[in-house]
């Protein structure tokens, strides 16, 4: 009898699928991971999850997962996250529940290099500066080639970019860097609001859909959680603990996820949320569009490359 040969998983950086599921049961069936929709209809419908080409799965309200499915997903190194309705956090934006696959074969060199620099204040600040410079670079690159933004005259002014860069270089501690990035994010919100003729104020977790601004806030929440999934997938794949942040505070559990997610949020989530909010797109369509954009732009591959180089200080 020939031994059963397991199909090979794709590299995490090359995986195409991201799932957000609500009111389903995830299980294993006929050597596959599937989810069953709970519609109450006489005929049950199963949908396949190609686990070896999936980066992460977000389970929203009314979901459950069997131990067999969890074991198979872990074997394929798929990250599973529990969240609230629409992909936004269930309890708070700072408390992400991701179930990392338990594997003894993840790399150790990146974690060792990260820890070595993390306990060295100047080295940690240097990595934080590098991360913010990369955040600036990707945002400028994406916005300057975004047809829908350009059509509406939305551009990041040279003075704004230079000011952020100067603030990064001048900062002597993490608090100064946090202030610089907060001013940068606030300026981007203002830029988008001005171009779309809105009076916008960022309100996380508000949950209202009364106004266009409320709708945008909701899409930002949902899009940010997709960014957290990409960030968590990369850190898990490289074996770097979520608890060793560069910017978001040493006492916040999983704060490095927020640091890495910011590389995606400014460049991709913000424009998609503002444009989608003004058009009142369905949340499902917004998530699908954002995931497709991230796949087209090879976000996982770019994040893996940048974070691995940042850990080894080869930038």
Number of domains in the chain: 2
Query: 49 with 189, same domain?
Result: no
- Please give the pLDDT value at position 132: 96
- Please give the pLDDT value at position 101: 66
Residue 175, domain extent: 109-312
Query: 134 with 273, same domain?
Result: yes
Query: 128 with 253, same domain?
Result: yes
Is there a contact between 116 and 108 (Cβ–Cβ < 8 Å)?
Answer: no
Query: 142 with 259, same domain?
Result: yes
Enumerate residue ranges in the chain where pLDDT < 70. Answer: 1-10, 39-43, 85-106, 205, 207, 249-254, 313-315
Q: CATH number of the domain that 267 lies in?
A: 1.20.120.920
pLDDT tens-place string over residues 280-312? 998 889 989 999 999 999 999 999 999 999 998
Distance CA 189, CA 14 (A): 31
- Please give the pLDDT value at position 177: 93
Query: 73 with 119, same domain?
Result: no
> Is residue 195 in a domain?
yes
- Please give the pLDDT value at position 90: 38
Query: 115 with 259, same domain?
Result: yes
- Please give the pLDDT value at position 210: 80
> Is residue 18 in a domain?
yes
> Is residue 191 in a domain?
yes
Distance CA 230, CA 299 (A): 8
- Please give the pLDDT value at position 94: 39
């Amino acid at each position: 009898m020939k031994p059963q040969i397991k199909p090979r998983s794709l590299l995490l950086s090359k995986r195409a699928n991201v799932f957000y599921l609500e009111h389903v049961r995830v299980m294993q069936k006929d050597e596959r991971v599937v989810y069953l929709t709970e519609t109450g209809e006489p005929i049950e419908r199963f949908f396949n999850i190609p686990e070896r080409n999936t980066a992460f799965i977000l389970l929203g309200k009314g979901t459950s997962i069997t131990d067999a499915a969890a074991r198979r997903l872990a074997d394929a190194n798929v990250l599973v996250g529990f969240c609230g309705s629409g992909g936004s956090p269930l309890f708070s934006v700072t408390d992400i529940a991701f179930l990392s696959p338990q594997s003894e074969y993840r790399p150790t060199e990146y974690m060792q290099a990260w820890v070595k620099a993390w306990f060295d204040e100047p080295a940690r600040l240097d990595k934080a500066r590098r991360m913010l410079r990369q955040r600036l670079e990707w945002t400028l690159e994406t916005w300057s080639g975004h047809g829908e933004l350009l059509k509406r005259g939305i551009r990041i002014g040279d003075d704004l970019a230079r000011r952020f860069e100067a603030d990064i270089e001048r900062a002597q501690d993490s608090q100064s860097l946090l202030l610089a990035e907060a001013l940068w994010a606030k300026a981007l919100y203002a830029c988008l609001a001005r171009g779309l003729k809105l009076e916008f104020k960022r309100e996380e977790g508000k949950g209202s859909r009364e106004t266009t601004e409320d709708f945008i806030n909701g899409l930002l929440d949902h899009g940010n959680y997709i960014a957290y999934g990409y960030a968590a997938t990369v850190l898990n794949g490289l074996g770097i603990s979520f608890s060793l942040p560069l910017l978001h505070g040493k006492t916040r559990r999983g704060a490095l996820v927020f640091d890495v997610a910011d590389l995606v949020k400014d460049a991709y989530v913000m424009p998609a949320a503002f444009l989608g909010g003004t058009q009142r797109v369905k949340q499902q369509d917004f998530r699908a569009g954002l995931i497709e954009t991230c796949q087209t732009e090879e976000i996982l591959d770019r994040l893996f490359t940048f974070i691995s180089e940042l850990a080894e200080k080869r930038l």
